[in-house]
Protein backbone atom coordinates (compact mmCIF):
# COMPACT_ATOMS: atom_id res chain seq x y z
CA UNK A 1 0.00 0.00 0.00
CA UNK A 2 1.47 3.28 -1.09
CA UNK A 3 1.70 6.26 1.26
CA UNK A 4 -0.30 9.35 0.29
CA UNK A 5 0.11 13.08 0.81
CA UNK A 6 -1.78 14.36 3.91
CA UNK A 7 -1.50 10.87 5.45
CA UNK A 8 0.16 10.41 8.85
CA UNK A 9 3.86 9.61 8.31
CA UNK A 10 4.62 6.13 9.71
CA UNK A 11 6.47 6.47 13.02
CA UNK A 12 9.78 4.73 13.56
CA UNK A 13 12.95 4.72 15.64
CA UNK A 14 16.33 3.84 14.16
CA UNK A 15 19.95 4.09 15.34
CA UNK A 16 21.95 7.03 14.03
CA UNK A 17 25.65 7.18 13.16
CA UNK A 18 26.47 7.35 16.90
CA UNK A 19 24.23 4.38 17.74
CA UNK A 20 21.70 6.66 19.46
CA UNK A 21 18.05 5.72 18.89
CA UNK A 22 16.33 8.50 16.90
CA UNK A 23 12.55 8.65 16.67
CA UNK A 24 10.55 10.51 14.05
CA UNK A 25 8.39 11.78 16.94
CA UNK A 26 11.39 13.80 18.21
CA UNK A 27 10.92 16.17 15.27
CA UNK A 28 7.28 17.19 15.74
CA UNK A 29 7.05 20.93 15.23
CA UNK A 30 9.63 20.88 12.42
CA UNK A 31 9.51 19.95 8.79
CA UNK A 32 11.43 16.72 8.19
CA UNK A 33 13.14 15.96 4.90
CA UNK A 34 13.31 12.17 5.14
CA UNK A 35 15.37 10.80 2.30
CA UNK A 36 16.09 7.17 1.46
CA UNK A 37 19.21 6.29 -0.49
CA UNK A 38 20.90 3.04 -1.53
CA UNK A 39 24.47 3.13 -0.20
CA UNK A 40 27.04 5.26 1.61
CA UNK A 41 30.05 6.44 -0.40
CA UNK A 42 28.66 5.62 -3.85
CA UNK A 43 28.71 8.37 -6.51
CA UNK A 44 24.99 9.29 -6.66
CA UNK A 45 24.49 8.96 -2.91
CA UNK A 46 27.56 11.04 -2.16
CA UNK A 47 26.39 13.79 -4.53
CA UNK A 48 22.92 13.76 -2.94
CA UNK A 49 24.33 13.86 0.62
CA UNK A 50 26.72 16.71 -0.27
CA UNK A 51 23.84 18.66 -1.89
CA UNK A 52 21.89 18.37 1.37
CA UNK A 53 25.02 19.30 3.35
CA UNK A 54 25.61 22.40 1.23
CA UNK A 55 21.94 23.45 1.53
CA UNK A 56 21.58 22.82 5.25
CA UNK A 57 21.62 26.49 6.23
CA UNK A 58 18.73 27.40 3.90
CA UNK A 59 16.77 24.25 4.84
CA UNK A 60 17.21 24.97 8.56
CA UNK A 61 16.10 28.57 7.94
CA UNK A 62 12.88 27.11 6.48
CA UNK A 63 12.35 25.11 9.69
CA UNK A 64 13.47 21.76 8.26
CA UNK A 65 15.72 18.99 9.50
CA UNK A 66 17.22 16.36 7.20
CA UNK A 67 17.34 12.64 7.98
CA UNK A 68 19.03 10.25 5.57
CA UNK A 69 18.16 6.53 5.73
CA UNK A 70 19.92 3.58 4.12
CA UNK A 71 20.54 -0.08 4.95
CA UNK A 72 24.19 0.70 5.81
CA UNK A 73 25.55 0.09 9.31
CA UNK A 74 25.97 2.87 11.89
CA UNK A 75 29.76 2.53 11.48
CA UNK A 76 29.47 2.99 7.70
CA UNK A 77 27.34 6.10 8.32
CA UNK A 78 29.90 7.48 10.75
CA UNK A 79 32.68 7.02 8.17
CA UNK A 80 30.53 8.62 5.44
CA UNK A 81 29.74 11.63 7.66
CA UNK A 82 33.41 12.09 8.57
CA UNK A 83 34.65 11.71 4.99
CA UNK A 84 32.13 14.16 3.50
CA UNK A 85 31.71 16.50 6.54
CA UNK A 86 27.97 15.84 6.56
CA UNK A 87 26.02 18.09 8.94
CA UNK A 88 22.86 16.02 9.38
CA UNK A 89 21.77 12.68 10.82
CA UNK A 90 22.04 9.37 8.98
CA UNK A 91 19.89 6.48 10.20
CA UNK A 92 20.71 2.81 9.84
CA UNK A 93 17.87 0.56 8.64
CA UNK A 94 19.80 -2.71 8.28
CA UNK A 95 16.67 -4.90 8.27
CA UNK A 96 14.96 -2.53 5.78
CA UNK A 97 11.77 -2.25 7.88
CA UNK A 98 11.43 1.52 7.59
CA UNK A 99 12.46 1.46 3.91
CA UNK A 100 9.61 -0.98 3.27
CA UNK A 101 7.17 1.02 5.46
CA UNK A 102 7.74 4.03 3.21
CA UNK A 103 7.74 2.05 -0.04
CA UNK A 104 11.41 2.88 -0.57
CA UNK A 105 12.46 -0.74 -1.03
CA UNK A 106 11.27 -2.98 -3.82
CA UNK A 107 11.75 -4.22 -7.35
CA UNK A 108 14.05 -2.14 -9.52
CA UNK A 109 15.31 -2.59 -13.05
CA UNK A 110 18.86 -2.16 -14.24
CA UNK A 111 19.93 -3.03 -17.77
CA UNK A 112 16.71 -5.03 -18.20
CA UNK A 113 17.31 -7.16 -15.10
CA UNK A 114 14.94 -6.99 -12.12
CA UNK A 115 16.26 -7.03 -8.58
CA UNK A 116 15.24 -5.81 -5.12
CA UNK A 117 16.84 -2.69 -3.78
CA UNK A 118 16.46 0.77 -2.30
CA UNK A 119 14.29 3.09 -4.38
CA UNK A 120 15.74 6.59 -4.01
CA UNK A 121 12.85 8.52 -2.45
CA UNK A 122 12.28 11.64 -0.37
CA UNK A 123 9.35 12.40 1.92
CA UNK A 124 8.63 15.87 3.24
CA UNK A 125 6.85 15.57 6.58
CA UNK A 126 5.08 18.59 8.04
CA UNK A 127 5.34 19.81 11.67
CA UNK A 128 2.16 17.86 12.57
CA UNK A 129 3.66 14.60 11.32
CA UNK A 130 1.73 14.37 8.05
CA UNK A 131 3.28 13.70 4.64
CA UNK A 132 3.40 17.02 2.77
CA UNK A 133 5.15 15.80 -0.40
CA UNK A 134 6.64 12.63 -1.91
CA UNK A 135 9.39 12.30 -4.49
CA UNK A 136 9.81 8.75 -5.90
CA UNK A 137 12.68 7.51 -8.08
CA UNK A 138 14.58 10.70 -7.31
CA UNK A 139 17.07 12.04 -9.82
CA UNK A 140 19.88 13.52 -7.75
CA UNK A 141 20.59 16.48 -10.06
CA UNK A 142 18.26 19.34 -9.13
CA UNK A 143 16.57 17.42 -6.31
CA UNK A 144 17.67 19.75 -3.53
CA UNK A 145 16.18 22.72 -5.43
CA UNK A 146 12.82 20.88 -5.70
CA UNK A 147 12.87 20.19 -1.97
CA UNK A 148 13.70 23.80 -1.12
CA UNK A 149 11.00 25.17 -3.48
CA UNK A 150 8.37 22.85 -1.96
CA UNK A 151 9.37 23.91 1.57
CA UNK A 152 9.19 27.60 0.61
CA UNK A 153 5.74 27.07 -0.95
CA UNK A 154 4.46 25.26 2.17
CA UNK A 155 5.84 27.96 4.45
CA UNK A 156 4.05 30.63 2.41
CA UNK A 157 0.86 28.59 2.71
Q: Contact, 139 vs 119, CB < 8 A?
A: no
**CA gap 47, 39 in Å, rounded:** 12
Tell me if residue 45 is catalytic: yes
DSSP result, 25-36: GGGTTSEEEEEE
Quick one: how far is CA 22 from the chain centroid? 14
Pairing of strands 64-70, 31-36: parallel
Q: Are 90 and 19 in contact (CB under 8 A)?
A: no
- Which residue among 9, 45, 90, 147 is the active-site one? 45
Q: ∠ at Cα 39 (66, 37), nearest 5°?
A: 40
Catalytic residues: 45
Amino acid sequence: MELQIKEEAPLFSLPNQDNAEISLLNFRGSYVVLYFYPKDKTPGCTTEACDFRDSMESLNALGAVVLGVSPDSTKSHQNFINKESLNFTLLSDTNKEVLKMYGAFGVKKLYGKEYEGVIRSTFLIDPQGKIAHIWKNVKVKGHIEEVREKLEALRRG
